[in-house]
């Protein structure tokens, strides 16, 4: 009936736009799952709006230590990289360490939110995160199906019902932190 969630290209564009506003010009976009079109769409969206350079690198989500080493090596070999975009919170922690190890001042952002990411944003270790609000995705799907079953209501007009991108920044991360820790954000 409809898609409830985030559009990966639109979310990527939001990231590119915000990074551009923050003065970032050369981004390393870390793809942690080979062949995942959604992750590639995120990086492509960043590239569309950044107005600078976006370089995609492939790492293995199942080997995060090696991923950390690959990110650090790329940052050491190209000192002009001033932004790192990870496409999942689990890779963000390794990218944070890689930035430090490489002696880089690159700004870190990530897709997807958890309590650790919210803490890192609050502490200034991460610039922002994209929250696609998965709890809301599930809640709205059940609500919409219930309304369809009981009253034949259809929301969205055949278009996606977007739950993101919602950027979590230093301005709102402290308020979001307890909700992320509780599993509803």
pLDDT of residue 72: 98
**Regarding beta strands 83-86 and 161-162, do their DSSP bridges make them parallel or antiparallel, or are they unpaired?**
unpaired
Q: Using an 8 Å Cβ cutoff, are 102 and 75 in contact?
A: yes
Mean pLDDT of 175-182: 94
The pLDDT-based confidence of 166 (bands split at 50, 70, 90) is: very high
pLDDT (tens digit per residue) in 125-150: 999 999 999 999 999 999 999 999 99
pLDDT of residue 112: 93
Q: Is the pLDDT of residue 18 over 90?
A: yes
156: enclosing H helix or E strand: none
Q: Is the pLDDT of residue 78 over 90?
A: yes
pLDDT of residue 3: 92
Tell me the HSE value of 64 on the side-chain side, using a 13 A CA sphere.
11
Question: Using CA atoms, how far apart are residues 34 and 58, in angstroms rounded to an integer?
Answer: 7
Q: Using an 8 Å Cβ cutoff, are 69 and 97 in contact?
A: no
pLDDT (tens digit per residue) in 80-121: 999 999 999 999 999 999 999 999 999 999 999 999 999 999
pLDDT of residue 15: 98
Read off φ and ψ for residue 56, nearest 5 degrees: -85, 140
pLDDT of residue 1: 84
Mean pLDDT of 146-168: 94
pLDDT of residue 9: 97
Please provide the average confidence, as pLDDT, over all residues in the chain.
Answer: 96
């Amino acid at each position: 009936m409809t898609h409830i969630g985030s559009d990966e290209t639109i979310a990527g564009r939001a990231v590119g736009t915000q990074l551009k506003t923050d003065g970032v010009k050369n981004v390393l976009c870390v793809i942690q799952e080979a062949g995942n079109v959604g992750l590639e769409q995120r990086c492509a969206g960043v590239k569309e709006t950044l107005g600078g350079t976006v370089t995609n690198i492939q790492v293995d989500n199942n080997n995060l230590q090696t991923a950390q080493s690959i990110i650090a090596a790329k940052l050491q070999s190209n000192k002009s990289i001033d932004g790192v975009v990870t496409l999942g919170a689990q890779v963000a922690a390794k990218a944070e360490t890689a930035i430090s190890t490489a002696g880089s001042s690159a700004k870190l952002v990530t897709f997807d939110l958890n309590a650790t990411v919210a803490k890192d944003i609050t502490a200034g270790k991460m610039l922002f995160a994209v929250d696609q609000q998965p709890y809301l995705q599930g809640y709205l799907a059940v609500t919409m199906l219930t309304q369809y079953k009981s009253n034949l209501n259809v929301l969205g007009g055949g278009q996606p019902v977007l739950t993101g991108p919602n950027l979590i920044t230093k301005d709102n991360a402290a308020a979001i932190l307890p909700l992320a820790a509780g599993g509803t954000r």
